[in-house]
Structure 1
Amino acid sequence: MNLLQEAVSYLNDPFNWSRPNGILDLGAQHLRISLIAVLAAMAIGIPVGALLGHVGRGGGFTVALSNISRAVPTLALLTVFAVTPIGFGPTATTIALALFALPPVLTNTYVGFRGVDRDVVEAARAMGMGERQVLVRAELPLAVPLLMTGVRTAAVQVVATATLAALVAGGGLGRIITLGFRQQDYGAVLAGAILVAALAVLTELLLSALSWAVTPGPRRLPLGRVRTRRPEAAEVAAAA
């Protein structure tokens, strides 16, 4: 039996799905850690990015934060947390993943709001809208495509990276992989990798559909009264 056959056999065994700490339990833990991390990143990144993009400041900050996040691996953060009161476990993993997800959410939100046509903003103000109304009713609908791109990128990265939780007693599908390595059961290792990859692809597909649904336009959900216009590539580059 080759490695792929062993992985398929592992996935076809109902016991591996239904037992305690089986695929279903670990999958639920994986999703919970990922969801909390992404929601935390959105709760911070979207308001801050929207505000910075609205006032037209903070471009250098967002670019610097994005570059720093690429230089600091999540595993390094988990190692640092190990010697702090945070310690090991799901809490440390969730915080590390939230910090990992924050830069793409913040950067794309900033670029999305900064790329809104200034004529639209001035027209909204001329209609008597306050700054909060301009932000929510004029700029937000136009910024949604790039904003959702940031959320989708962050979510897929978090789902894939959450396998590291198993290294710090954080649960998730990574436990199948780490346990497989310990037992030299490489079929289980491949099965765990397939499950994580499938979950990441499913996340991408679901958020792509959600992004399509919430982007104003023909046959989509109305998020505002302003006609949408996707920023041109030159405008986005200039805003960044």
Structure 2
Amino acid sequence: MNQFWNTVQADWPKIVQKTGEHIELSLISVIIACLIAIPFGIYLTAHKRLANGVITVVSVIQTIPSLALFGFMIPLVGIGTKPAIIALTLYALLPILQNTYVGVSSVTPSLIEAGTGMGMTRWQILWMVQLPIARSFIMAGVRLVAVQTISLATIATYIAAGGLGDIITRGIAMINTNTILEGAIPVSLLVIIVNLSLLGLNRLLTPKGLRHQTKI
């Protein structure tokens, strides 16, 4: 244990740098995925004939081994952070898209009819009725994606994108458990912190009257 802490102290600047790179890769990828998948999921609720086909096509991405997908990016866009963000974003699309579609579609039709009867427009119904009810479904997808992306971002080291994967792979090459832990522990801590933060944000944003109905 003392040897581990001595190693951490010696490598602390590198750990901080790589953690920052890891957060940047993960955050940008999740944000882009949300900006694509949430509006598209909402769009599919109004075009349900397309929904199954689109979700099936997007789900095919999940069947591609992660390392292979990162490799496919190299001849297309080279190496570095750009291909890593593209690959991580592609992996992040399905859970957010599917949860958005299911969440908005599951809103009770009587609530929509009530809103229409009150003279609300389609966009008002979406913004004031459907999205508040579907928020927990959407946030559950975002939480899943955030955890998945932080974990997958370690593979970005193989295309020179940086992140904590650099430390982990260095430890593997050296057959050094302490160095591997230097990279693995921050990844685990990031997953826990982000998951709990998003869970708390969801509870904060969900109206009290809906919390018992939308616990996810």
Q: By the TM > 0.5 criterion, same fold?
A: yes
- What is the Cα deviation at residue 120 of structure 1? 0.4
Aligned equivalent of 1:16: 11
CA distance in 1, matches of 2:43, 2:211: 20
Q: Given the alignment of the two structures, is residue 52 of structure 1 paired with residue 44 of structure 2, yes or no?
A: yes
CA distance in 2, matches of 1:53, 1:232: 22
1:35 alignment partner AA: L
8 Å Cα contact 1:6/1:188 also seen in 2: no
Percent identity reads: 34
- What is the Cα deviation at residue 146 of structure 1? 0.2
TM-score when normalising by structure 1: 0.83
Inter-CA distance 231–66: structure 2 relative to 1 (3 Å threshold): farther
RMSD, matched Cα: 2.2
How does 1:154-169 map onto structure 2 within 5 Å? 154-169=145-160
**Gaps (5+ residues) in structure 2?**
none
- What is the Cα deviation at residue 178 of structure 1? 1.0
- Of residues 112, 120, 125, the one that matches 2:103 is 112
TM-score when normalising by structure 2: 0.92
8 Å Cα contact 1:38/1:101 also seen in 2: yes
CA distance in 1, matches of 2:24, 2:61: 23
Q: How many residues align?
A: 216
8 Å Cα contact 1:66/1:103 also seen in 2: yes
8 Å Cα contact 2:15/2:182 also seen in 1: no
Aligned equivalent of 1:64: 56
Aligned equivalent of 1:217: 208
**Gaps (5+ residues) in structure 1?**
219-226, 234-240
- Of residues 200, 207, 210, the one that matches 2:198 is 207
How does 1:169-180 map onto structure 2 within 5 Å? 169-180=160-171
Aligned equivalent of 1:230: 213
CA distance in 1, matches of 2:213, 2:40: 21
8 Å Cα contact 2:136/2:214 also seen in 1: no
8 Å Cα contact 2:18/2:162 also seen in 1: yes
2:213 alignment partner AA: R
Q: Which has the higher helix share?
A: 2
